[in-house]
Structures are given as structure tokens and as C-alpha cells.
Amino acid sequence: MNIIFSALALVAITALIGFGYKSGGGKSLGLVPEVIELEKLLGVEASASGSRIILFTAEFCSKCPNLRRNLQSENIDFAEVDITDRLDLAAKLQINQTPTILILDSAGKIERKLTGSIKVSQIREFDGEELLDAKN
């Protein structure tokens, strides 16, 4: 009886984490209350593109390439930052997992922070078309 119970408990814990992970995807997290100085933090490339969507990826992130492909296929302009070796940036922006997306307003202040299984539709929801296709 104990054997069955412990095995079921293990399955239940796994299912709980798994469903929590699935349903929590793309959630909006606490914002960092400061203006992001793109040029200083991310380098010239990000600010040169004029992008207000920043995608943070890391070396061991298997979800990141898929999100990058989806953003590109939807013609959404974004700047990508690999924070594998930028732990200072991860600490400063309170980024604990990847992919994480920051949506900035025109002043560079963070409007939204999304993380986990982010869907492109969630990015579109936040600020309408003006945020998107910044290059066009």
C-alpha cells in the first residue's frame, strides 16, 4: 500500500509542477522600477534597431530558438540578448529564467516582463500595433 501511495505521490508532484509550468507560461511578473538604458546595458545593436522588445536568451534554453522563430515569422522587431555570461544584467533586471521578454515604453521604462512559454499573441496584447514592426 505504501509503495503504491509513494509512487502515486511522485506522479502527482510531477503533474502538479508540469501543469503549473504549462499554465504559468508567459505570465507577467513584477516590474523593475527603473528606466533601462539600452545602450549602456545591451550595447549599440539593441538601441540601433530602435526595438522596444528585448528577448533574453541563454545557452541552455531550448524554448528560446522557437520563440525567436515565432517573433521573426510575425515580423516583430526585437533585440536579443544572451545573458549566459551577463549575470550582472540578470541580477539587475531580476531575470531568473529564459526566455524572458521585456517590453519597454518609449522612454525605456519596462512596461511588461514576460517569462516561460511566451506566446506571440501575449506580446501583441500588451501595447497594440504601435509597439510592433518598429522598423516599418
Partner 1 sequence: MQRIDPRAPRLGAAITSLLAMIGFVLTQLNQAVGLAILSLLTALFAWSLMSAKTHPYALLFRLIRPRLAKPEFLEDPRPPRFAQQVGLSVSVLGLLISVVDPLIGTLFGLGLVFIASALNAYFDFCLGCVIYLRIKRLQRALVQ
- Based on the shown chain and the rule CB under 8 A, indicate whether residue 10 belongs to the binding site for partner 1: yes
Binding mask 45-64 for partner 1 (x = CB under 8 A): -------------xxxxxxx
Residue 23 as a binder of partner 1 (CB under 8 A): the answer is no
- Taking the complex as a whole, the smallest distance from the CB of residue 56 to partner 1 amounts, in Å, to 9
How many residues form the binding site for partner 1 (CB under 8 A)? 33
Tell me if 17 contacts partner 1 by CB under 8 A. yes
User: Is residue 99 involved in binding partner 1 (CB under 8 A)?
Assistant: yes
Q: How far is the CB of 12 from partner 1 (least distance, A)?
A: 11
HEC per residue, the chain: CHHHHHHHHHHHHHHHHHHHHHHCCCEECCCCCCECCHHHHHCHHHHHHCCCEEEEECCCCCCHHHHHHHHHHCCCCCEEEECCCCHHHHHHCCCCCCCEEEEECCCCEEEEEEECCCCHHHHHHHHCHHHCCCCC
Contact residues for partner 1, defined by CB under 8 A: 2-3, 6-7, 10-11, 13-14, 17-19, 21-22, 58-66, 69, 83, 87, 90-91, 95-99, 116
